[in-house]
Amino acid sequence: MGSMKEDDFQFSMTFMGLALEQAKFALDNLEVPVGCVIVEDGKVIGFGSNRTNETRNATRHAEMESIDKLLEQWQASGLSQSEVAEKFSKCDLYVTCEPCIMCATALSILGIRAVYYGCANDKFGGCGSVLSLHQSEIKDVYRGFKCTGGIMSSESVTLFRNFYEQGNPNAPKPHRPVKTTQ
């Protein structure tokens, strides 16, 4: 994780603020409060928030949501695979919580330029907490991305606390017998 210059810092505070707004949107919708924005040339070109409860698909993380929307948009405008790859290599992601191992791999696959995140993800984090996929090197080819954590992390953590207070409507109910396992 590199250190940031002063104006870079201001920059990232602004974008993280927007990511936090996305996280609040998720919270209002009874979703796990994680949000993100994707930035190209100092402009927000994509955003997303967690939708795992609504979709009943635990992979619908904020990052995946925003990536899918962008991919759809770019393909609709006729961009090819290599052009899309070129696009991603100029994009930065601001996300309120350290990307999990799944999302960190996805970001590496897409070849995103940099990731800025809020709080760490001790259990599933793919950018240093559990695995360090942002430093990937496969067959001597660098597949990582620049990664900086801890930006406005207390705000992100507060949202998680609020979420627990309101309760997760989709948390497993342990009392319920699961038929398939017996």
Query: Could you say which of 12, 22, 50, 66 contacts other proteins (CB under 8 A)?
Result: 50
Rank residues 39 and 106 by Cβ distance to other proteins and give the closer one. 106
The residue type found at 42 is G
Contact 117, 99 (CB under 8 A): yes
Rank residues 125 and 148 by Cβ distance to other proteins and give the closer one. 125
> Considering 21, 54, 63, 155, which one is annotated as catalytic?
63
Could you give the CA distance from residue 1 to residue 6 in angstroms, rounded to a whole number? 16
What is the footprint of other proteins within residues 155-174 (CB under 8 A)? 156-157, 160-161, 163-174
Contact 62, 26 (CB under 8 A): yes
Rank residues 147 and 179 by Cβ distance to Zn ion and give the closer one. 147
Tell me the number of residues near other proteins by CB under 8 A: 77
- Pattern of binders to other proteins over 89-118, x per CB under 8 A? --------xx-xxx-xxx-xxxx-------
Report CA 139 to chain centroid distance, whole Å.
26
Query: Could you say which of 16, 39, 70, 100 contacts Zn ion (CB under 5 A)?
Result: 100
Query: Could you say which of 82, 137, 140, 154 contacts other proteins (CB under 8 A)?
Result: 82
Among all chains, which residue has been given the structure tokens 């609020």? 162
Query: Could you say which of 8, 28, 57, 146 contacts other proteins (CB under 8 A)?
Result: 57
Helix (H) or strand (E) holding 46: strand 43-49
CB atoms within 10 A of CB 132: 14
Could you give the CA distance from residue 91 to residue 175 in angstroms, rounded to a whole number? 45
Could you give the CA distance from residue 61 to residue 128 in angstroms, rounded to a whole number? 18
Does residue 6 have an active-site annotation?
A: no
- Among the residue ranges 4-12, 37-45, 55-63, 73-81, the one whose residues contact Zn ion (CB under 5 A): 55-63
User: Looking at the annotation, which residues are catalytic?
Assistant: 63
